[in-house]
Structure 1
Amino acid sequence: MRSKDRERMRAALAVATLATVSAWPAIAAAQDDANREYLFHSQFAEHCKRAMPPLSKQIDSAFSAWQSRIPAQRLAAIRDYAGSKAGKRMAQYVGVGISVASGDNKLVASYQCVERINDWGRIDYPAVTNSQIDSAAAKPLLASIAPLALARLDCPTLDGVSAAPATAAKADEASIPLETWTFSGCGRSHAVGIDRRSDRLGLAGKDRSALSGF
């Protein structure tokens, strides 16, 4: 991916992220409002399934895990509200707010929806083997990629993730190839590049584009 294209993608992500943050007070006026919080999360789940269909199974599983941590009596009351006329009206408003803030940008969704999966599901992925990246840095990096890799593998869980030094490649001015990570699950595997950009590590641009459905 060309540097200019990458910069445009980053700009789109930054704008959408700011929009989502700015819209949050209007969507859920009080953090402790359980009804609005539930509607926000449920509508974000629906948004992610529309924006990133391959993530749908993981979204459903993670959102179910999030709901399971809510006390049963409280969850029942919240669901009653969600099914009421007022709740449905509020859900529609919340859904529109999320859609306007996030748009249909698959790059933005590849970050936001993966973050939701990890936040809701609290998933414990297997550690990356043979990586030269410090484990403290590798763990969050793995979490940011794993749901996309699982969607490509069409598999609910990872059997393992292995690392190898990146093959020789010409680095552009923005990123330097560092390692190749191979994700395995359900008898299949998929390899992606890990790049260093300035002082940050991340999924190679071409692989994020491919996994995000560009």
Structure 2
Amino acid sequence: MKRVLVVLFLSLISCVDLLAQGVEITPFTGYTFQSSFNIVGGRAIIRDGQNWGGMLGFSLNEFAEVELGYSYLGTNAVARSRDLQNDVDERAQVHYATVGVNRLIPRSEKVTLFAGGKLGTGTLAFPEANIRNITRFSVGFQGGVKIFPTENIGIRMQANLMVPIMGVGTSLWWSPGQGTQVGLTGWSPIAQFGFTGGLIFRLPG
């Protein structure tokens, strides 16, 4: 399955590269707000914090672009439940890797509005290894503005919403010392909302 996904991904990149009229490289940083979801007997929380990442955009024409993106959030994950002896508060990382399409709305030679959607993977990772990592298929939506003071360098500001799909549930696992491992399963979706801003470096097609 992984090989098939890699082949499809590389094929998509090849097709986009052939069709693209220009390429935009955008490193960014921003802020993601706190999100929470239900677990058995309580709630789990992914705390807010600064995010950062990068995007690689391929302009198909004046009104559309395909975009590859990666974002990272260093945070803490908290679980509170009547089934846990103590609250869980663990250092965590949120990773998103996506591919998407934006609808471009030019307002002038220097200003372009955009809105679009994206698909990919979302991973909640725990670097201290007390809780197992979770990876889910994710969907996202974004909208914002690009401003180009010069032809090849611009500013990008946008709002983001990422939603990991939890059709089979979400699990937070915790091993309290030498005790029995406790599993908490939640069924409500996680929605992470935030804002980002970055510099655009445009490479002519």
User: Which of the two has greater helix per residue?
Assistant: 1
TM range (shorter): under 0.3
User: Which of the two has greater strand per residue?
Assistant: 2
TM-score (norm 1): 0.26
TM-score (norm 2): 0.27
